[in-house]
Every structure is written in structure tokens, then in C-alpha cells.
Amino acid sequence: MNMTVDTLSNIVEQSLNSVSIEKLAAIKKGAVNDQILAVLKLLCEDYLGASESEIQAIVGYQESEFFRKYATYLLGLVDTSPEERHKFAEEIRKKAEDSTGNVISGMVVRLDNINKETVFAKLSVARIHGAISTEDFFRVYSLLERIPYVDLKQLPRYKEPFYDESGDTELLFATGALEIETIDSKGESNKYKLSRLGELLLRWGFNIHLELEHGKGTNVELNRATQEDIDEIFEV
């Protein structure tokens, strides 16, 4: 069974608009491998008319990696309704000036770690519920895509001015997740803190609440996460 890019795009678009919460909730109760196969079966049967043998044939081929990622993403939307996702899909289509299926499938594929799909789903839910703007949804996704997963765990350290000599500071700053807090006049290392987008990534992608102050006087009062909380959150 050979799926074209258009076929995958159509599956994504139709599933965002049509899959019921009840079906997703039932699938999410199973083991991880069973969840992936259940989503694959749901999507292929509903939108391709594929048989059981054709669905099994997908496993082990290129499509299986896409569905592994997309299943993780879709299951992260379990608390949203088809109506909410339809509105979300329309926003994505208008802002990106491309079909929602093409945009979301491309975003799913570009993430290089399966755990990032869970974070991506949380960012999508945040947009669906109006917690972040559509523009910030795309901007924060860009951070998620470019930051190696191992360095994402370092982000909470920058809730206060900090510099890490191991190299993650420069990488995180280059992505836009950090901003310079203090410039060291003695020629030592400058200190960095979370940028507004870095804060949004932690707040809505990982549900880490931090208390941060930004340059224009904005004070965001949120609960601080302990290192234990951070470690647990990042072990997705």
C-alpha cells in the first residue's frame, strides 16, 4: 500500500475535522504500540477504506514512522472536539496559505523526537483554547523544531539569569528561546534568561509555570517548578 503525500495530507485534514473524542479517548487507554496501530486502523479504515491486511502492510515502511508520530500528536488532542479542531484547522489554513493537511503533516514529520509530538499537541491545544495566538503557535513550534530534545530540558534553568559553559546557552539563544539579561563588563560570560517565546514553550508545551519579568515591565506571576517537577515533566 503506497500512500502519496496528498493522501497523507487528506488523512490529517479529515481526521482533525472528524475524529470523535470518544474514539480518541478509547484508543488512549491502550499500550503505546496498540495506540499507534489503533489510530492507524481508525484513519485508514475511515479515510482510505483499507483492509486489515493493507493496514498491517504499512507497518515497517515509511508510512509507519509518519503514523507513529501522527498518532502521538492526534492522541494529544483528546480533550478537544471536532468542532474546535475544525476552527483550528481553518486558522492554520488561512495563516499558512496552504491546506491544513499539508501544514500539519509537515510539522509532524519535521520533529526529530517522538516526545516533541506530545509537546506539539499541547501547543495545538493551547491555540485551540485561545491561550496563545496563531502567530505565536507557529513561532513557538519553530523553537520546538530547532532545539535538540536534550537541550529543551535546560530551558527551565533560565528562569533566572544564567550561562552554561557546556554550549546550550548559545544554541538556545540562537533559536530565540533566550534573551540577554546582563552584559558582563568584565569580559566574562553574559547572562541569559527566557525570552517571551521561550516562556510560552515551557508554559504551554510542557505546562511548566514560572515567575518571570520582561524588559517592558510585564510581570507574569506563575508558580515555580522544582527541579524534580522539571525532571518528571521532561520524561514524557
Domain parsing of the chain, residue ranges: 5-110, 149-234
Helix axes 134-146, 100-110, angle to 10 degrees: 30
Handedness of CA 75, 45, 20, 92 (dihedral sign): positive
Distance CA 72, CA 38 (A): 11
Which pLDDT tens digits describe the chain residue by residue (236 residues)?
456 677 778 888 888 888 887 888 888 877 777 777 788 777 766 655 656 666 666 554 556 778 889 989 999 999 999 999 999 999 999 999 999 999 999 999 999 999 999 999 999 999 999 999 999 999 999 999 999 998 998 999 998 899 988 889 999 999 999 999 877 656 567 899 999 999 999 999 998 865 544 544 333 333 444 556 555 555 54
